[in-house]
Chain A
C-alpha cells in the first residue's frame, strides 16, 4: 500500500504552475484541497451532456441528471457506511449541515435548562449555531477544555457530561491543531446519558476512514471541497429514525409531496431536507471525488500522510524560534506554528512570494488562539500530493523570513 506520488500529482493540473518564478507549493489543504482532473471532468461532462433539473422531468436529460445526482448519493452512503441513501442529506457544506441540525433537531428537542456540550477546539461553525440555539431556547452551552498539547481533557468531559446534556458537538479532526479526537469513546459516553452526538468531519473525512455505523454517530457532517471535491456542497449523514422525527429545515420545491393552501405533506427522506433545486453538478463532483479517494485507499493515504507529517514535524522541532501549536499524540496533516519575531501575517506574505501557500490567521477557531495566547498562527496543512521537497521549500522560506526580520 503506497502512493505513486508522481501519478497523484499529475492528477491535479493546478499544481503544475509557477508563482513569482517559483514552483507552487500548496500547503493550505485544510482550507480547501485542490481538485483532480477526474472531478473537473465529471462536472464539465454534466454541463456538456446531461444538464437538466432533477426529480422532475420525464425527458432524457432530466433522467440522466437525476441518475447522476442520486448515483453520487449512493457513492457517499457507501463511503461513510450509512444504512441507506435516505440517511444522506445534501447541504451547502458542513456549516449548513450543522445549522440544519441545530435548527431542526435542536429546535424540536432542546429546551430551557438543557445543555449542549461542545469543545474548546471547535471551528466557529460548530460553536455559533449552538450558541444561537441556546440563547433562543434558554439552554446552556458548555465547553470541554483542552490541554497544552491541544488534546481534549477527557476527565473534564466526563464531569461536564450529565443527564442535562442533550447534544454533544465535537470536531473529528481540528483544523487549527490537527488533533484527532476519540469520537468512539465520546459517542459511547454521550449515549450512556441519553445525549445525541454531532461530529464535525469537515477536516477529517479526506484523511481517515469513517464508518458511521461502527461509531454509532447520530449526525456526521462534512464538506466536499476539503475532500478534492467542489465547493458549495456537503453532506449531513444522520440516523434515519432521528431524521424521520425531525421537522423540515427549509420549505420549498422538492421537499413536498402534496401542497394545498390548507396543508402541505412533506416528502420522504432524504428529500424532506432538500428544498429547492440542489447543487447537482456539485453532488456529481463530490461523488467523483470520493471515488478518487477510494481509488487510492485510506490505508495508503494514512500511511503517506503520517510519513510526511513526521518529516515536517521533525524539521519544525529543529527549527530555531519555532513554536508548534498543537502537538497531540494523535494528529494528522496540520502543522500550526508561530515563529519568534515574525508575525504570522508577515510570514504568509513572505512565503507567498516564495511560491509557498499557507494560511495565517485564527483559522475560524478564535477560542483556540485565546487558549494558546496567540493572535494568530501560521498553518501548513498537507495532502496526498505534497512532497518532502515541498516541506523543504516551506522551511527554506521560513529561513528567508527570519533573515528579513533579523
Chain B
C-alpha cells in the first residue's frame, strides 16, 4: 500500500522546513502572485532573467502547506541558471508527472529532484498544492497580472 512517507519524503520535509531561494530578490524583472483561496496557500515569485535569456536568479515568498512550499523550493532550484526558453517544457513535464497514471514510472533522469513529488498523484486533493508554484511562475514568465490559482 502507498504509505504517507511516499508523499512526505525526507526531501519534502526538509525543503518545507528550510525552503531554498526564499525571500525577495534585490533585482528582478518578472514577478507574479499565486493564491489558492480554499487552501489559503499564497505565493509570490521573483525572477531575474539576463540579456542572454538565462534565469540568473529566482526566489519565492509566501505560506502554505508542506507540499506547496517544498514544491516551490524544488522548482526554484530546478530552474535557477537554466534558459528561460526551457521553462515551458519543464512546466509540462512536472504537470504530467503529478497527473500521470499511478503505474507510470517518473523519468528520474529528466525530472531530477522534482521526482520526489510524484507521490502526490496518490492524493488527488493535494495536486493543486504541488502545481501552484509552477502556475505562478508561468504567470511571471508571461508577465501576467492575473493571480495564478489551481483549485
A136 at interface, CB cutoff 8 A: no
Cα A341 to Cα B17 with chains together (Å): 8
A21 at interface, CB cutoff 8 A: yes
Contact status B63-A375, CB under 8 Å: yes
Contact of B39 among A350, A376, A400, A404 (CB under 8 A): A376
Contact status A21-B1, CB under 8 Å: yes
Cα A400 to Cα B5 with chains together (Å): 11
Stretch at the interface among B43-51, B64-72, B85-93, B106-114: B64-72
Chain A residues within 8 Å of chain B by Cβ, number: 20
A317 at interface, CB cutoff 8 A: no
* Contact (A345, B5) CB under 8 Å given A369-B40, A405-B13, A405-B66: no
Interface residues of B in 1-24 (CB under 8 A from A): 1, 4-5, 7-8, 13, 16-17
Interface of A is mostly: helix
Cα A341 to Cα B63 with chains together (Å): 12
The 8 A CB mask of B19-53 against A (1 = contact, 0 = none) is: 00000000000000000011111100000000000
Cα A345 to Cα B66 with chains together (Å): 8
Contact status B64-A404, CB under 8 Å: no
Cα A346 to Cα B39 with chains together (Å): 11
Contact status A361-B40, CB under 8 Å: yes
Contact of B65 among A21, A346, A362, A366 (CB under 8 A): A346
Cα A20 to Cα B13 with chains together (Å): 23
A349 at interface, CB cutoff 8 A: yes
- Chain B residue at smallest Cβ distance from A21: B1
Least Cβ distance of A376 to chain B in Å? 5
B149 at interface, CB cutoff 8 A: no
Least Cβ distance of B19 to chain A in Å? 13
Chain B residues within 8 Å of chain A by Cβ, number: 23
Contact status A361-B13, CB under 8 Å: no
Residues of A close to B39: CB separation below 8 A: 345, 361, 375-376
The 8 A CB mask of A358-371 against B (1 = contact, 0 = none) is: 00011000100100
Least Cβ distance of A28 to chain B in Å? 14
Most buried by A among B1, B7, B37, B65: B65
Contact status B40-A404, CB under 8 Å: no
Contact status B1-A20, CB under 8 Å: yes
* Contact (A376, B13) CB under 8 Å given A346-B65, A404-B8: no
- Chain B residue at smallest Cβ distance from A362: B40
Contact status A375-B42, CB under 8 Å: yes
Cα A400 to Cα B4 with chains together (Å): 10
Contact of B4 among A344, A350, A366 (CB under 8 A): A350
Cα A353 to Cα B5 with chains together (Å): 11
The 8 A CB mask of B111-130 against A (1 = contact, 0 = none) is: 00000000000010110010
* Contact (A343, B13) CB under 8 Å given A20-B1, A362-B40: no
Can you report 30 residue pairs joining A to B where beta carbons are below 8 Å apart? Answer: A20-B1, A341-B17, A342-B66, A343-B65, A343-B66, A344-B65, A345-B39, A345-B41, A345-B126, A345-B129, A346-B66, A346-B67, A349-B4, A349-B7, A349-B125, A350-B4, A350-B8, A361-B38, A361-B39, A362-B40, A375-B39, A375-B40, A375-B41, A375-B64, A376-B39, A404-B4, A405-B8, A405-B13, A405-B16, A405-B17
Q: Which residues of B contact A (CB under 8 A)?
A: 1, 4-5, 7-8, 13, 16-17, 37-42, 63-67, 123, 125-126, 129
Which 10 pairs across A and B sit closest by C-beta, in order of nearness? A375-B40, A343-B65, A345-B65, A376-B40, A346-B66, A404-B8, A346-B65, A353-B4, A350-B4, A405-B13
